[in-house]
Structure formats: C-alpha cells, structure tokens
Structure 1
C-alpha cells in the first residue's frame, strides 16, 4: 500500500464562496451570472456523470488494492520492498504521458517543459520514496493490514506537530481536540493489538500443553515495536514532505501540470534508487515464486469452470505462474486506478470533500479486510479505530472560510492526501 505509497493535490477553495472552475478560480473573479436556483435535471445528470465514475475508481481501485495487498502480505510479510518497486514502475508508466511525448525524430521520446526544476523533484522523490518503503516494510514486524490502516490514519498528529514547530502554524481548538482523539485512538489500537496477539499465542501454547513455549506479552510487544517506530518515522517524514510540497508550490505555482509532474517524477526518479536494494528485491522475488501456490491450484480449489484438460497448454502455463505474482501485478494496476480516481476527485471538489471521501474509503477498506480475510479486531483496537476515524472527520471539518496562513491541511499539508 503506498500507501498508501500515492497523493492527490489541490488548492484550498471554499466551495460556497467561489464557483468551481475545475479546481481553479476564474482569472477574472467570480462569475456573477452563475445560476442560483435549484439544479435542473441536466445539471443533476452532469453531476452524476462526473462523480459516479470518480467514486467508482476510488472505491474499486483503492479497496481492491488493499485486498491484493493483504493477499501478498499473507504470503510473506517481508515482500514490502518488491511491492513498492513494482508499484512505482507501474505508476511511472501510467503517468508518463503527462510529462513525455513521442516524435518522429531521434531520440523519439522527449520530455515536456517542466513547471518545477528537476533538482527540486529529486529532493521530493527521496522523501516520497523513503516514506513508501518504510510504510511497506512495517508489515514485516507483525503489523496487520487493519492495524496498518489505523496507524497511518494518525498523519494529522505528526503533521500538526511538525507544522507547529517548523512552520509557525496555529490551529483551531476543534483541530487540537481532533488530534487528541487521533493520538489516543492510535496508541489504544497499538497496545490492544499487542495484548491480543500475546494472549492468542499463549492460548495456543496452553492447548499444545507447552505453556512455557508461548511468548510473553512483553515479547510480542517487542516484536511489534520496530514496526510501530517505522510507521512513526514514515509519518514524521510525510509531514516534512507536506511542508516541502507547500513551499514548492508557493514558489512555482499550483496547477494540474505541477500535480502531474509530482506524480511522474516522484515515481520515475525513485526507480534507480532501488538498485541499492537489489539483494532484497532478489530475495523477495524468490520468496514470491516459491512460497505461493500456482494459479492451477487456485483454479482447482475454487472449481472454476475453465474446462481445461490437465495436459492442456493453458493448464501447464497456469502451473508455472505463482498466484502471488498475479496479485503483485493486480496490486500495481489497482494502485494506478486508485490514484486516477483521487486525482479526478481533487480537481472537481473541495479539499474537505476529498478528505471525507478518503476517510470513508479507509473505513471501507478496514471493514473489507475484516470480512474477507477473517481479521478480528479486539475490543480495544475497535474502540481505537472509531476514535481515529472520528478524529479524522473532526480534523477535516472546516472551522473558518479562510484558514490562517501556515495551517496545514487535513493530512499534513494543504494538498497531501493519503490513499
């Protein structure tokens, strides 16, 4: 999950104070001739034609992405680096048309003029890639996908702290209360998950008549501590990435082209850095091919009506393809669909709408993870999750029509969104 791991950006525009011009304020000011009466059937149809496909892309793409992510993590939790690499390659190819173009003259592929210098995208890329690698590496320390979703929702806590300390940001009381809910919810969820894991492990040890073999509560917590610290570091770096992004756009302007550049260059410039992790990627690939059953067994288990003879070419081909490899490709493809949906929503809606939709999407992903994979949330984790989502909703809710200068947006910067 790139993450998440993927971001959408737009300016803060109050939907009640300014007309929508596809994410931008009209150059000549508000248009006074806009209709003020109730929307006609035609307008309602236009709204449906815009938002229904967009919401489908978000919920289908992002929730499917979480499903494929959990399928991969269940194969081996250490597949994070390979997962991140494949995601970056796919997103780079997916977004290349916005920054590259082809011609009949050598070298045939050319770079479009940039709005932001490439050296600044390089700084952005280092932070962005590090955050994604850290987030996906946390799974190797007994951090489940539901817990991962909850912990990463604490972004506003670190974002507010970093913006307060380094950007002189000041916040309304309701946002401070919201961050308090987030902080308490995340801590409660983390401690409750560790306690529940140790209790289950001790229970299994008692059933096998080897109670001394079960790990203690302290031992289980120590196994998860590196994962908690990794996610905390990722959240802090993500907050600094938000500040850097705000300064970048305040200097060079905020536009759809700048958003497209950030998506393309942050993923494309990251790919060479994976050369430093060739051994890890190689180990991940070996695990992927040896620890996952072939597609042919999946077809047999689910009794899919393909009508293939055991000796057929297709059946033999399926026997050579690991199921996890297909899930890896599907994960990268759904990541692209998810990003496309979030970017489309960000160009047509206020940042409040984007924040609320993404919070609902996270909640749906959490519920799907519980339902499809049999993940059971202990009572403390469930209460912590409710506090996190409540805090996220309070934090996103606007307190003024024009937020004070220096105040960060719902996810740490005026523009940064978690997928």
Structure 2
C-alpha cells in the first residue's frame, strides 16, 4: 500500500511539475537558474526543520562523503535547466534525459566493470537510435523556425541567423549530453555510498540540496535579473488574502511544491521498492509528461519524433526486463514445463 501511494505521488508531483516548468520557460527561457535556486532553497529549508531538527541531528553518512555527490547534483540540475535557453524544446529535453540508462550502462562497464546480456545491449541500441532520430528531427525544426524570417531579411543575413541558431542548439545538445553522463556518475557514486553506509533518503535529499546553495552566488546576477522579470509579470488576485501576486511567482510556487512532492516520492520509493520498479515508474512518468507537453503546449512533434520516442521508451522497458516479467506472469505454466524437460 505504501508503495502504491509513493507511485501515485510520483505521477502527481512530477507530471504537474513539468506543467509549471513549461509555463515558466515559455515566458522566459533563461529562467532555469532561478527555478533551480528556488527548488534547492525550499527543499533545504524543509530538510533543516524536519530532517536535521534545526541542525541537532547528526548525519548517518559523513558530510564529506556528500560533497562529491553534491557537486555532481548541482552541475546536473543547473546544466539541465539552463540548456532550455539554447533552442532546446521541452519534448526533446525530456526525451534526452530518458536516455539515462545508456550513460549508466557505459559508466557501469567502465567504472564498476559490469557485464550485461545481449538483450540489454540491444535495448541500449534502441534507446540510442530513438534519441538520435528525435535529435535530428529537432535540428530540422530549429532550421525551419529560422527560415520563417527569410521573407523579412536578405538571404545572407537569414543564412547567418540560421547558422547561429543551429550552433546555439548544438551547444544545448552538448549540455544535455554532459548532464546525462554526470547524472549517471552520480547514480553510481550513490550506489557505492549506500552499500557502505546504508540508505538514508531524507538525509541525502537535504544535504544534496543544502550544501550547494552557496554556489548560486556565482550565478546571482542572472537569478536577480529573472526574479525582477517575474515581479513585473501580470498580477493576479488571491481571493482569500485579498492581495495581488505576479502570475509567474505563482507558477514558481507551484513548480517548487510539485518538485518537492516529486523528489520526496522518488526518494521514498527507493526504500519501498527495488531500483527496477523505481526506474520503471520514473520512465513511465516521463512518457506521460512528454505526451502532455506535446498536446497541451502544442510543441512541434512529427511522425519521426513518435518513432524515436517509442524506441526510447520501448528500449527502456526491455532494458528493465519488463517484457520478460510480463511474459513470465502470463505464461508461467509453459515456463515451468520447459524447465522440467
């Protein structure tokens, strides 16, 4: 029952978080740093009050061991959010991050010397091809968006803008690739850390958000700039309080609350379910978020995007052994007879 509640909150929190994030980035694409800072701050305050009891509870895992994980976590969060500012659409952003299994496998082979079955290698090939298809089609979308202005510019200037947009998009793809592998490295480090010290999800959640807060000083100007822009957005009345609040700050509040619900639910599931189930739940959540983003926000999505998306999520399910588990559940008798023979 606890696991079902956790899964429900993953879908509710994470899917609604994507909605608020897209409402923010469609208005100001460069607001990723402000969003990341707000999320880190709120989760840190909650953890300081309820997890550390105002600093009176000592951590089970030495703080020094969290520092390396925190550096990776901070880089991944900031780079992922900032990549949206480089002509990266939300659907491509979600699809790219769904390829985390590829990075995990590659780093697992290199660092942990892991070995995998043929099925897993084939599933990784499917995921890689799916991401490539979506990436190539998104590149063509960027090119078409640039071509819309050709009627208003001379040919040389138009070609220059098209090339500039494409280079900016390539930088965004590079940022997503970097974040993908850093996220996988963080996962491997967590795996080793938890094996040694045991699992302490709420503690890890607090320290992974609280320690890097000081690093936001380096991007403080950008945060203050976008905070000022948010304050200038259209005010909306709050019925009960009788005051008006800029609408983007309301979206930000919704984003932070849903992010907290999402990440708490994921950390909770790690203590209630196997990592296989957790990864599957998160993957299915990403798929639903992607579908909603395409339909509600009318993001450009072609037939080839659907093929690529299907390959990414289909490959993920094969990698997790979901197909095999379903077949074993449907035909258990046949499997037993084979073993007897």
TM-score range, shorter chain: 0.7 to 0.9
2:235 alignment partner in structure 1:
294
DSSP 3-state at the match of 1:110 = coil
| Alpha-carbon displacement from aligned partner over 1:305-353 (angstroms, at most 9, x marks no partner) | x7x9xxxx93xx32xx321111111101100111232233333323222
Q: 2-side partners of 1:201 and 1:223: how far apart? A: 12
How is 1:146-157 mapped onto 2 (pairs within 5 angstroms)? 146-157=91-102
- Residue number among 288, 297, 300 corresponding to 1:373 in the alignment: 297
Q: Which residue of 1 aligns with 2:216?
A: 274
Q: Deviations over 1:207-251 (max 9, x none)?
A: x58666545764432120111011111111112212221221222
Q: Which has the larger radius of gyration?
A: 1
Offset at 1:83?
Answer: 0.6
Q: Secondary structure at the match of 1:130?
A: helix
CA distance in 2, matches of 1:220, 1:354: 37
Alignment of 1:12-411 (within 5 A): 47=1, 50-97=2-49, 99-101=51-53, 109-203=54-148, 205-206=150-151, 214-215=158-159, 218-252=163-197, 254-255=198-199, 258-290=200-232, 292-295=233-236, 314=242, 317-318=243-244, 321-397=245-321
The 8 Å contact of residues 162 and 239 in structure 1, kept in 2 or not, is answered as yes
**Separation in 2 of the partners of 1:378 and 1:212?**
29
Structure 1 residue 56, shift from structure 2 partner: 3.0
Cα distance in structure 2, aligned partners of 1:399 and 1:55: 20
* Structure with greater helix share of residues: 2
| Alpha-carbon RMSD | 2.5
Deviation at 1:176, TM superposition (A): 0.9
Return 211-220 or 386-395, whichever deviates more.
Answer: 211-220
CA distance in 1, matches of 2:321, 2:6: 22
CA drift of 1:397 comes to: 1.6
Do the aligned residues in 1 keep the contact of 2:280 with 2:317 (CA within 8 Å)? yes
TM-score (norm 1): 0.72
**Deviation readout 1:56-109 (Å, 9 max, x if unpaired):** 3122111110000000101111111111000001111233355312xxxxxxx3
Question: Unmatched 5+ residue regions in structure 1?
Answer: 1-46, 102-108, 300-305, 402-419
> What does residue 335 of structure 2 align with?
none
Partner secondary structure for residue 295 of structure 1 = strand
- The number of residues matched between the two structures is 324
1:192 deviates by: 0.5
Further displaced range: 328-337 or 161-170: 161-170
Cα distance in 1 for residues equivalent to 2:183 and 2:103: 9
Determine the C-alpha separation between the residues in 2 that align with 1:351 and 1:170.
18
Structure 1 residue matching 2:55: 3-state secondary structure: strand
Contact map agreement 1:94 1:336 (CA 8 A) in 2: no
